[in-house]
Structure 1
Amino acid sequence: MQNSKSIIAAVAVLVLIFSIYIVITLAADSEKPISVQIDGKAYTFDPPPMIVNDRTMVPMRAIFENLGAKVTWDEKTNSVIAFKVNTTVVLQIGSTVASVNGKEITLDSPAMLYNDRTMVPLRFVGEALGYNVFWIEEKQQVVISKKIPTTFEKRVYKTVGGKDFHIYIYKPVDFSKDKKYPAIAFFHGGGWKQGDVDKIRPFAVEYAAKGFVTALVEYRLQGTDKITTAIPCISDGKSSIRWLRQHAEEFSIDPNRIIASGGSAGGHVALSTSVFDTFDEQGEDLSVSSKPNALILYNPVVNTLVNKGFMTDEKVLLSISPYHHATKDVAPMVIFHGTNDQSVPIKTIEDLQKKVQELGGVCILHKYPGKGHGFFNEKTLMPDLTNKGDAFLDLIRFFE
């Protein structure tokens, strides 16, 4: 009886494999090639996409990595495991049941082996990782695009002298209170004198689409608030990080995965939240940390003895210079800088990198040849900047 059952099972598997082979062969013979476009860019795959049970199948590693996920293979269970921000996807070869963050999902077409390559269902993978997936029949094309948040929540994070200062919160489109999200606070540039959150809004939207809770932070400026030094800017930066931790449960933020980010003077504010133990706003709950867990910086001011802005007092400038106060406890950071930056000399960045590394810290520097100050605002560079940011977060095991 046991042998009969084994024979029947083996025949069933052979029938399934033969059926899949026929479907693949017919699709390859009768249809023009299937194309795949991700966020406006065409991608090719080896082997090319194929139709199985009316589902587009693509090579495992290529699709996961092009969607920003980290992929591993479990030899014992014949399973693909993909991780992105706070989403874990598990697909087992031949199984019609997949798992997304531990929740079982039934598939029309299971992951399969073809020409020694693991093929996975494209729509399921894309949607599981937070993308929109569309099929255009007349073009035989799959179009995949990020789910871009279009709304934000405006909150007051502190009031100084009767004036409210706001923080603008973006959530992933598929936000769920059942998850814990990494957060990233962005500080705009403008020499501590001017500027507004719109300057760096594209980064907040992009990272929210990647699965982060993001925040755009207003802070005091010399032009509108008549400050005489950048100390209030640092104080506001620290207040905003503290506010995010205090409201972590409300926004489903993981309080141990908060990033500070900014460009130019905003990069100085972001970096200062990690460097300085001083400059806290009077009356705040100091038992809640104002220090970020990582830093992503774009042509930041790191030495205020070189980049003085509107300030002239050398003693004050020294007191707010991250380069001169950095210790081994500074958060791991990645810096993006143009080699032709006439405002913030790249040597100041190289000096900071050398110091942090000598202290035993992590400071990754990406140099952009010929680029000047504010280069990171070029829209065409966004994919490169964010991909390198993702690689940095993987390097420091930010999500583990």
Structure 2
Amino acid sequence: MRLILAFLSLCVALVAGAQEKVAKKKAGGHPPVIEGTKSETYRKVGETELKVWIFEPAQKSAKPLPAIVFFFGGGWTGGSPTQFEPQSRHLASRGMIAIVADYRVKTRQDAKPADCVSDAKACVRWVRANAARLGIDPERIAVGGGSAGGHLAASVATLPGLDTAKDDKSVSCLPNALVLFNPGTVMAPFPGLDLKGFGAGLDKSKFGCEPTEISPIHHVKKGTPPTIIFHGKADTTVPYSTVEKFAEVMKASGNRCDLIGYEGEKHSFFNKSKYAETLAAADDFLVSLGYLPAKK
């Protein structure tokens, strides 16, 4: 009888756990449930465990694989790592290891943008530090993101500060390539630009640091990783002029920066009608870097 009761209790627990997972997925709970991935914690801040979800190619490789880490958008206020799940599944099917990352935001941890950048840098360091265990080539780590997540990706590649005392700075957080979707790249006044939209008007009290400290365009230099940017020309949240100027500064510094503008498209367009088109172009960019095989 005791064995039967124990078995029934186990069954109830398993069913309840499964139902909880389904409910969380349907409700868009946080942290999310992402089927077919393995999840690990890359950083703990207080009681908050920040996780990554890892998409692996179906076919195992004897050699280390290139990887890409995606950061979701949401104005540093909210959002979900599931935003880049479709892109991640595609890239994993093409032979990369794709990773979507969580980071602190305003609505969940009362975080400021500087905290978000700190998390993003810690995440890329974690991926590189664990590259051998994860089967990743540490010299072929791309970083991508949309909107605020695009800002984080660009920040990881450019900003010299916003680390914490606990960060192992012997491990580089510099990515080897950037894939950016309507990213925020200008957070402070810059010559030749009328600063509007995303980040405009915010000061140290809002950013958690001086505006120039969190503004990627102010820190572009020779050696900033090769970059592709997808941006709607009708974007009023992050004006197209800001990425035009960013691309100009990148090229003037001797860096590759492919800017693809989309007529009439507004913010977050890449999640909608232009999803397939932008994904195909991102795929081509990664092929050009040798991260993906040429399409047959």
Q: Which has the higher strand share?
A: 1
**Structure 1 segment 120-159 matched on structure 2, within 5 A:** 150-159=35-44
Report the AA paired with residue 191 of structure 1: G
Q: Show the counterpart of 1:389.
A: 282
Does structure 1 residue 332 correspond to structure 2 residue 215?
A: no
TM-score if structure 2 supplies the norm length?
A: 0.79
Q: What is the CA distance between 1:310 and its match in structure 2?
A: 8.8
Q: Show the counterpart of 1:189.
A: 73
Does structure 1 residue 302 correspond to structure 2 residue 185?
A: yes
Report the AA paired with residue 87 of structure 2: F
For the residues of structure 2 that align with 1:256 and 1:399, how far apart are their CA atoms?
Answer: 14
Q: Show the counterpart of 1:129.
A: none
Q: What is the CA distance between 1:311 and its match in structure 2?
A: 3.6
For the residues of structure 2 that align with 1:394 and 1:224, how far apart are their CA atoms?
Answer: 37
Q: Show the counterpart of 2:258.
A: 364
- Corresponding residue to 1:203 among 65, 87, 111: 87
For the residues of structure 1 that align with 2:80 and 2:292, how far apart are their CA atoms?
Answer: 30
Structure 1: gaps spanning 5 or more residues: 1-148
The DSSP-based 3-state class of the residue aligned with 1:243 is helix
Report the AA paired with residue 208 of structure 1: A
**Structure 1 segment 64-75 matched on structure 2, within 5 A:** none
Q: What is the CA distance between 1:247 and its match in structure 2?
A: 1.2
Report the AA paired with residue 235 of structure 2: D
Does structure 1 residue 312 correspond to structure 2 residue 203?
A: yes
The DSSP-based 3-state class of the residue aligned with 2:44 is strand
The DSSP-based 3-state class of the residue aligned with 2:217 is helix
**Structure 1 segment 52-201 matched on structure 2, within 5 A:** 150-176=35-61, 178-201=62-85
Q: Show the counterpart of 2:113.
A: 230
Percent same amino acid at aligned positions?
A: 34
For the residues of structure 2 that align with 1:376 and 1:247, how far apart are their CA atoms?
Answer: 31
**Structure 1 segment 238-387 matched on structure 2, within 5 A:** 238-305=121-188, 306=195, 307-308=198-199, 311-313=202-204, 316-378=210-272, 380-387=273-280
CA offset digits 1:346-371 (Å, max 9, x no partner) = 00000001111011111100111111
Q: What is the CA distance between 1:260 and its match in structure 2?
A: 0.4
- Corresponding residue to 1:212 among 96, 109, 125: 96
The DSSP-based 3-state class of the residue aligned with 2:180 is strand
Q: What is the CA distance between 1:150 and its match in structure 2?
A: 5.0
The DSSP-based 3-state class of the residue aligned with 2:210 is helix
For the residues of structure 2 that align with 1:364 and 1:371, how far apart are their CA atoms?
Answer: 18
Structure 2: gaps spanning 5 or more residues: 1-33, 189-194
Q: What is the CA distance between 1:392 and its match in structure 2?
A: 2.0
The DSSP-based 3-state class of the residue aligned with 1:385 is helix
- Structure ranking higher on relative contact order (CA contacts 8 Å, 6+ apart): 2
CA offset digits 1:117-148 (Å, max 9, x no partner) = xxxxxxxxxxxxxxxxxxxxxxxxxxxxxxxx
Report the AA paired with residue 286 of structure 1: K
Aligned 8 A contact 2:51 2:101 in 1: yes
Q: What is the CA distance between 1:199 and its match in structure 2?
A: 1.9
CA RMSD of aligned residues (A): 2.0
Aligned 8 A contact 2:161 2:213 in 1: no
The DSSP-based 3-state class of the residue aligned with 2:178 is strand
Q: What is the CA distance between 1:312 and its match in structure 2?
A: 3.0
Aligned 8 A contact 1:191 1:309 in 2: no
For the residues of structure 2 that align with 1:277 and 1:319, how far apart are their CA atoms?
Answer: 8
Task: Evaluate the alpha carbon distance shift between residue 382 and residue 369 of structure 1 in structure 2; reply closer, same or farther with a 3 A threshold.
Answer: same
For the residues of structure 2 that align with 1:327 and 1:397, how far apart are their CA atoms?
Answer: 23
The DSSP-based 3-state class of the residue aligned with 2:120 is helix
For the residues of structure 2 that align with 1:395 and 1:350, how far apart are their CA atoms?
Answer: 22
For the residues of structure 2 that align with 1:152 and 1:232, how far apart are their CA atoms?
Answer: 26
Aligned 8 A contact 1:194 1:222 in 2: yes
Aligned residue pairs total 249
Q: What is the CA distance between 1:396 and its match in structure 2?
A: 4.1
Q: Show the counterpart of 1:88.
A: none
Aligned 8 A contact 1:192 1:309 in 2: no
Which is higher, the Rg of structure 1 or of structure 2?
1
Aligned 8 A contact 1:241 1:292 in 2: yes
For the residues of structure 1 that align with 2:81 and 2:225, how far apart are their CA atoms?
Answer: 24
CA offset digits 1:176-202 (Å, max 9, x no partner) = 3x1321100000000001111122221
Report the AA paired with residue 233 of structure 1: C
